[in-house]
Structure 1
Amino acid sequence: MIRMLLRVLGPEYAPPVRRTVALMTTTAIVEGLSYALLVPLLRALLGGSPGDATPWLIAFGAAVAVFAILRYRADLSGFRVGTTLLRGMYHRLGDHLARLPIGWYSTSRVGEVSALAGPGVLRAMSVIAHLLAPFLSACATPVTVVFVISVFDWRLGLAALIAVPVVAAVQVWTGRSTAAADEEGTERGHEATGRVIEYLQAQPVLRAGGRTADRFKLLDDSLRDLQKANHRSTLSALPGVVGLTFTVQAMFTVLLILGAFLALGGEIGTAEALTILVLAARCADPLLSLSDIGGKLRGARSVLARLDAVLRTEPLPEPPEPVRPERNDLEFDSAVFAHGGRTVLDGLSLSVHEGQRLAVVGPSGAGKSTVLQLLARFHDVASGAVRVGGVDVRAISTEELMSRIAIVFQDVYLFDGTIEENVRLGRPDAEDAEVRAAATAARLDEVIERLPGGWSANVGEGGALLSGGERQRVSIARALLKGAPIVLLDEVTSALDPVNETAVHDGIERLMAGRTVVMVAHRLRTVQRADSVVFLDGGRIVEEGSHDDLVRRGGRYAGFWELQIA
């Protein structure tokens, strides 16, 4: 468990974790050793001179005080290290997710990462703060008590020692028997969560189609499956709980009988027999808590395993000796890219001179958006090359490549903050005058004037408080503020009303001026302004040329054009 935790966190966190584990283990051992003082204490109390018990009582009190101080320091260390690990885990997970290829983020993975980054990380990191101390106490204290019993009488010590491997075996068996059920419960929980979100988001469509009852049945079935999985998980853990309880009770009964037999035979004193029974009773509580602690640890281990799987996912490699391009022209050289078992681009070759505009047109699924994603290195090609300024994007550092590219997508995501904060993402250190100028160029100032709060108006999560056209204007202002020499546009006006489309087009024209541009577009006015046009289909270039030339040829592009006019 600790080994996996350190593997997930990284070696830099090993020293404080090891110190905390050592302190917690020492505390548990001191607790067990302090009980050894009960033998002379009870012997004096039960003997002819009870006053002789005073020194032993003071010694026992001092031992308990030492244990209390150690326990306080161990718990405090656990909380501090747990907080440090939690912060470190969030940073490491965030940094790693930022380096993973965009293609890795499927819908199911986004849900899984959301669960891991929220309650998952908290659950895993709570091991140090909340679970490790009671677990070590439940293991080390009883073992220490067995050693103490052995010092006073080897027969009673041997009888108590036999229970140690039995308890360990029960715990291992319980863990193995519940592993499959726990995994099923986790999967059913993710599925049920997805169904709940789906049911809530799809309410307008479901009500319009009169299908709420049918869809509710799917949600109900998912929740019922989750209930059954949790029921099976509980049943699979029940034999281990019963077995552990039986083992602990059997050990106490054996010690009770053996201690009474030895005391009646005069082989040990009454004080020793009574103390050993007290110690055995003291072992029972932490041992019985192992079933509950073990279940929580298995849950945390499951989360750690999923975190480990995410962190082991290889990000796109960074070049050992990055090259800085001197130009801003773009080139695809026999690029091949496959995704999900399907070839998306098949030997694509094209070039865009610096300062020119290329429009990419074609049917849905032709690979148009993939062209933009490969230029931004959201993925790496399987063969061939994608170059910026004559340099393969794989030889350019991510920071340098991203500094050269401004991207405006059809679906704009805004962070839950003010309009100004979202615009400043393009260049956080920009002057106020530069931010205002970018907003004016994108015609965002018109939106700001009519919003309560102006620049300080909150856009909501994902920009939910703004319309689609207003979000696009924020995105264009952000790209203008960045001032990158290469601009990638992905159907930015495909779903806008005429007023917003005009405003966005004006902003796009200002954004494209003097820059190298690749745009995925269907709207006529956007395509006509391109220096060249390529028509993609099946990941290959079917036609290439200027707009006027392609229309005169009467080929696929001309048919697309006529359909747009109609």
Structure 2
Amino acid sequence: MIATLLRVLGRDYARPVRRTVALMTVTAIAEGLSYALLVPVLRALFGGTPGEVWPWLAGFGAAVAVYAVLRYAGDLAGFRVGSTLLRGMYHRLGDHLARLPLGWYGAGRVGEVSVLASRGVLQAMSVIAHLLAPFVSACVTPLTVVAVMLAFDWWLGLAALAAAPLVVAIQVWSGRAMAAADAERHERDQQATARVIEFLQAQPVLRAGGRTAERFRLLDDSLRDVQRASRRSTLSALPAAVGLTLVVQAMFTGVLVLGAALALGARIGAAEVLSILVLAARCADPLLSLAETGGKLRAARAELARLDAVLRTEPLPEPADPVVPERHDLEFDAVTFRHGDRTVVDGVSLSVREGQRLAVVGPSGAGKSTLLQLIARFHDVDAGAVRVGGVDVRAMAAAELMSRIAIVFQDVYLFDGTIEENVRLGRPDATAAEVRAAATAARLDEVVERLPGGWSATVGEGGALLSGGERQRVSIARALLKDAPVVLLDEVTSALDPVNETAVQDGIERLMAGRTVVMVAHRLRTVRRADRIVVLEHGRITEDGTHEELLRRGGRYAGFWDLSLEPAHD
């Protein structure tokens, strides 16, 4: 398990982890050896010369003091290394998730990543801080005590040692027996987490349907599945716990009977028998804790394996010798992209000259937004090439590509901070004057003026304290501040009221000025001034031309345009 932990985190953490494990092992040996000093202490107390006990008591006290110091140092080292590993794991997992292609975030990933990034990481990284010391103590301290017993009387030592293979066998059997139950419990937990998130997100729909007083059946079913899986997991752990208790108690009873027989045969004295029983009791206690500690370690190992699987998922490859384009024109060269078994983009070829505005229209599911994502390299194409300035985006460094692109999506996500902090995401090193200028151009200053707190006003998680139009203005201000030469717009005004649509459209016009633009829109009034319009259907370009040219042809675009004008005739 330690090897898996180091593989997940990287070899930079190997030395402190190994040093901590070594310190915990020495601590467990010191604990066992301190118990060994009880033999001469009890022998002196119950013998004919009790005054000789003082040197042994002093030695026992010194051994306990050494053990206490080692235990303190070991626990402290475990907590420090554990917190370091936890911080390192969060950083590595976050960096890796940010590099994975968006296609990886499919159905079910929300629950999986939520559980993994919260409880999963904590459980896996708790091994060093909370579980390793008890586990090492449960394994090493009894073996040290048995070694002392073997040195004192080999019959008693062998009797105690006989339990070792049975304990190992029970732990192995328990791990195999609980593997399926633990896997089912984890799967049910993921499903329940996803259902809870779905339940929260579906509140508007449930309330609109008058179901606020009803229980959400899908969530109830998931929670019942979790309950059943938890019950099965608990029941599968019972035989191992009972078996381990029986073996340890049988070992203790065997040592007791054998010690009594040896005492009756005058091979050892009463003091020795009492000492052996004390040692056997100290050997039994940590062994009995193995069932609980072993179960926690199995759960942590399972979470660690899931973390390892996520971290082994290959991100989009970075070029060995990245190329930097000198222009900012765009080109799709026979591009094909598939999502699962579905072909989303099918052999698309088109070019956008530098400084030109291209509008992409078409029915829902035609692949319009996918074109934007392929330009930003959220996915890699299955065939063909996407080029920026004549350079394949796969030949560009990811940071270089993203520095040249500003993206404004329909659904804007804002972080739970101030408006200024969210705008600064476009360019963190911008001056205050540059931030204000971008906000003014996006007409965000109007929003700031009426908010209590102004620029220091918080937007809430996801921007919940702002309206959709206000969030969109923040997004446009962010893009303006970035000042990238390529702008991608995805359904920016489709869900805005007339007032916000006008303000956002003004900001977009400023954003598009002098830049290479690809925009996706359902409202055709926003695309009529584009230099070029393409109609996308079933992943293919079916029409291409200017607004006037496409209207004259009387094709699919003309039909869309007529439909967009119908409300004006009412």
Q: Report how far residue 214 of structure 1 moved.
A: 6.1
Match of 1:426 in 2: 426
Q: Distance in 2 between matches of 1:52 and 1:382?
A: 85
5 Å matches for 1:109-120? Answer: 109-120=109-120
Q: Distance in 2 between matches of 1:226 and 1:296?
A: 18
Match of 1:158 in 2: 158
Match of 1:239 in 2: 239
Q: Does structure 1 residue 496 correspond to structure 2 residue 496?
A: yes
Match of 1:411 in 2: 411
Q: Distance in 1 between matches of 2:507 and 2:220?
A: 48
**Contact residue 115 and residue 193 of structure 2 kept, 8 A:** no
Q: Deviations over 1:358-413 (max 9, x none)?
A: 00011111110000000000000011100000000000001100000000000000
Match of 1:79 in 2: 79
**Contact residue 442 and residue 503 of structure 1 kept, 8 A:** yes
Q: Deviations over 1:34-93 (max 9, x none)?
A: 222111111111111100111111011111111111000000000000010011011111
Amino acid at match of 2:148: V
Q: Distance in 2 between matches of 1:507 and 1:212?
A: 39
Match of 1:450 in 2: 450
Residue segments in structure 2 that go unaligned for 5+ positions in a row? none
CA-atom RMSD in angstroms: 1.1
Amino acid at match of 1:436: R
**Contact residue 111 and residue 191 of structure 2 kept, 8 A:** no
**Contact residue 152 and residue 272 of structure 1 kept, 8 A:** no
Q: Does structure 1 residue 518 correspond to structure 2 residue 518?
A: yes
Which secondary structure state, in structure 1, belongs to the residue aligned with residue 344 of structure 2?
A: strand
Q: Report how far residue 104 of structure 1 moved.
A: 1.1
Match of 1:143 in 2: 143
**Contact residue 444 and residue 473 of structure 1 kept, 8 A:** yes
Q: Distance in 2 between matches of 1:78 and 1:505?
A: 57
Which secondary structure state, in structure 2, belongs to the residue aligned with residue 191 of structure 1?
A: helix
TM-score with structure 1 length normalisation? Answer: 0.98
Q: Distance in 1 between matches of 2:99 and 2:231?
A: 39
Pick which of 154-163 and 429-438 moved more: 154-163
Q: Deviations over 1:113-148 (max 9, x none)?
A: 122112221111111111100110001000111111
Match of 1:559 in 2: 559
Q: Deviations over 1:177-236 (max 9, x none)?
A: 111111111221222233333334333322332345665333322222211111111110
Amino acid at match of 1:258: L
Match of 1:384 in 2: 384
**Contact residue 335 and residue 381 of structure 2 kept, 8 A:** yes
Q: Distance in 2 between matches of 1:265 and 1:8?
A: 58
Q: Distance in 1 between matches of 2:11 and 2:529?
A: 55
5 Å matches for 1:49-448? Answer: 49-212=49-212, 215-448=215-448
Which secondary structure state, in structure 1, belongs to the residue aligned with residue 108 of structure 2?
A: helix
Q: Distance in 2 between matches of 1:113 and 1:193?
A: 10
Match of 1:28 in 2: 28
Pick which of 145-154 and 213-222 moved more: 213-222
Residues 74/316 of structure 1: CA separation in 2 closer, same or farther (3 Å cut)? same
**Contact residue 330 and residue 388 of structure 1 kept, 8 A:** yes
**Contact residue 199 and residue 215 of structure 1 kept, 8 A:** no
Q: Distance in 2 between matches of 1:223 and 1:490?
A: 38
Q: Report how far residue 304 of structure 1 moved.
A: 0.8
Q: Distance in 1 between matches of 2:404 and 2:217?
A: 50
Q: Report how far residue 528 of structure 1 moved.
A: 0.8
Amino acid at match of 1:524: L
Q: Distance in 2 between matches of 1:292 and 1:467?
A: 51
Pick which of 2-11 and 342-351 moved more: 2-11
Which secondary structure state, in structure 1, belongs to the residue aligned with residue 452 of structure 2?
A: coil
Which secondary structure state, in structure 2, belongs to the residue aligned with residue 323 of structure 1?
A: coil
TM-score with structure 2 length normalisation? Answer: 0.98
**Contact residue 328 and residue 486 of structure 2 kept, 8 A:** yes
| Identity fraction in percent | 79
Which secondary structure state, in structure 1, belongs to the residue aligned with residue 216 of structure 2?
A: helix
Q: How many residue pairs align between the two structures?
A: 566
Which secondary structure state, in structure 1, belongs to the residue aligned with residue 416 of structure 2?
A: coil
Q: Deviations over 1:472-522 (max 9, x none)?
A: 000000000000000000010000000000000000000000000000012
Could you list the structure 1 runs, at least 4 aligned residues long, displaced by more than 4 angstroms after superposition: 212-215
Which secondary structure state, in structure 2, belongs to the residue aligned with residue 447 of structure 1?
A: helix
**Contact residue 146 and residue 161 of structure 1 kept, 8 A:** yes
Pick which of 190-199 and 97-106 moved more: 190-199
